[in-house]
Structure 1
């Protein structure tokens, strides 16, 4: 099940791909370096989900500097197997390419924004049609590039699953016909391309997708599906500046007691600027540290058998007595009672 918190974000892997293509088409760094989620510590962290608006802006900038057909081709060229993480292997490790693309459609939120993007698979007799659904608010050229790329990506992964090149029966694009089709013919390997379609889709012979994949390993698909679900569940969605701050604070906490200056340095701003930005978002440094400690302590009490002394040391408190006072202030109870409450509602009732 897709969490509402993940909507409006995409995987950092997909953002890295868009970032690399923006560089390839020659966009000056100052045109996109300021976008949320493009700092190295977020862009290169597979646990982070960057704002969908960042990917949209990269696509829009890219299609200003290069035609959308070229951008689609570059995205496809840069999409080697593994580029999009576990989602790629859902397709290539299934018993058949068809089962793989079904798994990919069911777990599309692992890479894309489930609020605006999706896949639909339609089986009609001897044909299978894979449609890319996109309702994001972006420029026409960027939308064309993304749709064209998505179909090319599906074709490439299905071919890798089948261990041979797959030529589609037909490609439909929700885009006006460009003056030259060369890039698209090369991308799909066919001249059977329809433009101005209601939905972008790619159609294959069912027999091509229903043939058992070579060297399939029994049970691997189930493992990958669970991994995809866990990947999404453990991801950290970055919607705005406050999300970025909280990931920096959590990272600093993992390395010891976080300080204002250390977190400010991670975010490449001054300590005073950081305090001012927190105030603009209706919070303060002390409130954020307290919230992080409360969540961390609650998680440790519910999910581990660590002693109160150990939890106090891990959470930046001087001793167990200080931690007990904090838990009493937060929940009106003791750490022992909070632990007994487990994952239930007693602790929440006291928040």
Structure 2
């Protein structure tokens, strides 16, 4: 993802009282002042993880969302501002999601027969309160974006939050501008009234909009990818699957290290060889089950298992179910999500 949101959350973490020493220990933060780069998404989720307790004490997601100002997210902000109305703005923003965040995130934009506009958000997967904070932040950001684009305050007609209500709701409800917030929903979404959805935007400029959209595509396509050390380890582990179960000494050699130095560096990163192999296997096996029609036997081989029984044991350890059950539940959940977005 581009570094814009990471910088914003880091700033919020500092103002919430997270120590500078702790933030400096985050891998890769030294490159965030550069432009024209993309950084690992896990960098952002790690900032949320170490800051979540401080955010909870200091007002939660509003502390982060309120630091946004027009133009802070570069070309993505102008995609919205130069559009004809909010409906077009968020439809285009959804198309250009890689310009602001991980392309595996998503906005689903739907206008109902009465003209009301709903934007549902599906952030990149993470866990627990971190996931809830990210969802709360995105909804607050969308409301602020809408108000800035329209040049006036916007009150949503409905909000759904895919998570438990925070200990104190006052800051969250103040940011959303409405008490009509449903928690524990299947998706996080914000719904705007038909007049707000169709009102002409003061900054609408078709010629500028076309230029901005081209620029959004160009900046993503030409960005320089910055990989952290563990990202490189993960890439080497994934590449070694073709040779069977990954071996520490082979991966260490590909990282231009001795096995002992490699293990010491893993320890300095707060992890181990076994943990990192497990992470890569889980991520890759999950992706293949979700996004491909490959057989489970083939997937087991693709992630370096000797046989499918090892994959089944691993999946039970990760998710408490078999790979076949996981795939079937994902397919059913996708159908249910699509139904929810269309309602």
Q: Taking structure 1 as the reference length, what is the TM-score of the superposition?
A: 0.64
Separation of aligned partners in 1, 2:4 and 2:220: 13
Deviation of 1:71 after TM superposition, in Å, equals 3.0
Deviation of 1:224 after TM superposition, in Å, equals 0.5
CA displacement, residues 70-125 of structure 1 (integer Å, 9 cap, x when unaligned): 2310111111011111101111111112211111111011111113x111011112
- 2:88 corresponds to 1:120: no
- Structure possessing the higher radius of gyration over alpha carbons: 1
Separation of aligned partners in 2, 1:74 and 1:179: 15
Among 242, 247, 256, the alignment partner of 1:279 is 256
Separation of aligned partners in 2, 1:64 and 1:213: 38
Deviation of 1:211 after TM superposition, in Å, equals 1.4
- 2:150 corresponds to 1:162: yes
Deviation of 1:153 after TM superposition, in Å, equals 0.6
Contact 2:76/2:96 (<8 A) preserved = yes
Find the counterpart in structure 2 of residue 143 from structure 1.
131
Contact 1:15/1:50 (<8 A) preserved = no
Contact 2:160/2:182 (<8 A) preserved = yes
Find the counterpart in structure 1 of residue 26 from structure 2.
35
- 2:81 corresponds to 1:89: no
Misfit runs of 4+, over 6 Å:
none
Separation of aligned partners in 1, 2:125 and 2:34: 24
> How do residues 261-280 of structure 1 correspond to structure 2 at under 5 angstroms?
279-280=256-257
Deviation of 1:220 after TM superposition, in Å, equals 1.0
Find the counterpart in structure 1 of residue 299 from structure 2.
none
Label 1:206 to 1:37 Cα distance change in 2 as closer, same or farther (>3 A).
farther
Among 181, 190, 194, the alignment partner of 1:206 is 194
Find the counterpart in structure 2 of residue 15 from structure 1.
6
Separation of aligned partners in 1, 2:194 and 2:185: 22
Q: Secondary structure at the match of 2:209?
A: helix
Find the counterpart in structure 1 of residue 333 from structure 2.
none
Label 1:24 to 1:146 Cα distance change in 2 as closer, same or farther (>3 A).
same
Separation of aligned partners in 2, 1:38 and 1:281: 27
> How do residues 1-351 of structure 1 correspond to structure 2 at under 5 angstroms?
10-39=1-30, 42-67=31-56, 70-115=59-104, 117-126=105-114, 127-138=116-127, 140-241=128-229, 279-280=256-257
Label 1:228 to 1:281 Cα distance change in 2 as closer, same or farther (>3 A).
farther
Q: Secondary structure at the match of 2:111?
A: strand
Separation of aligned partners in 2, 1:181 and 1:120: 26
Deviation of 1:243 after TM superposition, in Å, equals 8.4
Deviation of 1:201 after TM superposition, in Å, equals 0.3
Label 1:236 to 1:281 Cα distance change in 2 as closer, same or farther (>3 A).
farther
The more displaced of 78-87 and 29-38 is: 29-38
Deviation of 1:66 after TM superposition, in Å, equals 2.7
Separation of aligned partners in 1, 2:203 and 2:142: 20
Label 1:37 to 1:197 Cα distance change in 2 as closer, same or farther (>3 A).
same
CA displacement, residues 173-194 of structure 1 (integer Å, 9 cap, x when unaligned): 0111234321111111000000
Separation of aligned partners in 1, 2:98 and 2:118: 20
Q: Taking structure 2 as the reference length, what is the TM-score of the superposition?
A: 0.65
Deviation of 1:281 after TM superposition, in Å, equals 9.9
Find the counterpart in structure 1 of residue 291 from structure 2.
none
Deviation of 1:207 after TM superposition, in Å, equals 2.2
Q: Secondary structure at the match of 1:27?
A: coil
Structure 2: unaligned runs, 5 residues or longer: 233-252, 260-343
